Structure 1
Amino acid sequence: MTTATSPRHIEHPAREDIRLGPVLHALSDPIRLRIVCAMAHGRGEAFSCSYFALPVTKSTSTHHFRVLRESGVVRQTYQGTAKLNSLRRADLDALFPGLLDSVLESADAEAHRERPHPQ
């Protein structure tokens, strides 16, 4: 007899299964990078998917969160009916030292360059 997987169980790669290629792919998309930057500035908080005001449809947003989760960049958990997302900073820092900080610093610098400057 086969037991159905609980809809509350969300699959994540174990730390040792996280690979650089999928992490870089996940971080290469501007929407996903925006999500990761917001989470990093949240200093360890967990955020619901609806917290992020994204310029995409709900189904596209779901896709982006799935890519982040399957690559090992975020962990998703349920709290009641809300799906919460947290950055797997400790795992990423242990596997790829300095990568996340470098990506976040570069994203911040790029965002600063793109803002209009007073003349």
Structure 2
Amino acid sequence: MVRTLQHPERDAITIDAVLSALADPVRRTIVTQLAGGHSEQACIAFDLPVAKSTSTHHFRVLREAGVISQQYRGTAIQNGLRRNDLEARFPGLLDAVLAAD
């Protein structure tokens, strides 16, 4: 049985959800690391200043806002930045957030 996580379709991604997700510095750290690293990274690859349960919450907020994608690979969850979807919906927003941080 393949486990899957729910992601909003590109057209369902809203500016309010994206900006709300990116307002938190821990979530911006996740996005910055994804933007500067490999296309997919496991949750354990992130050095975050919060407990594991709190980091799980941050990843879920980013996924539900449409900022990242998450897929199971075995027992690990791989995270990827939805750069193309964000650029299509809100041109220049992600680059502006990354440059400002």
Tell me, yes or no, whether TM beats 0.5.
Answer: yes
Partner of 1:26: 21
- The one of the two structures with greater contact order (alpha-carbon pairs below 8 A, sep at least 6) is 2
Cα RMSD after superposing both structures: 1.1
- TM-score of the aligned structures, taking structure 2 as reference length: 0.96
Select the residue among 52, 58, 82 that pairs with 2:52: 58
Structure 2 residue identity aligned to 1:28: A
- State how far apart, in whole Å, the 2-side matches of 1:104 and 1:84 are: 21
Q: Secondary structure at the match of 1:84?
A: strand
Structure with greater Cα Rg: 1
Give the alignment of 1:1-119 within 5 angstroms: 8-42=3-37, 45-107=39-101
- State how far apart, in whole Å, the 2-side matches of 1:13 and 1:77 are: 14
Q: CA deviation at 1:81?
A: 1.2
State the 4+ residue runs in structure 1 displaced beyond 2 angstroms.
none
1:56-86 C-alpha deviation (Å, 9 max, x unpaired): 0111000000000000000000111110000
- State how far apart, in whole Å, the 2-side matches of 1:18 and 1:68 are: 11
Residue ranges of structure 2 left out of the alignment (5+ in a row):
none
Q: Secondary structure at the match of 1:76?
A: strand
Identity of aligned residues (%): 55
Structure 2 residue identity aligned to 1:54: L
- TM-score of the aligned structures, taking structure 1 as reference length: 0.82
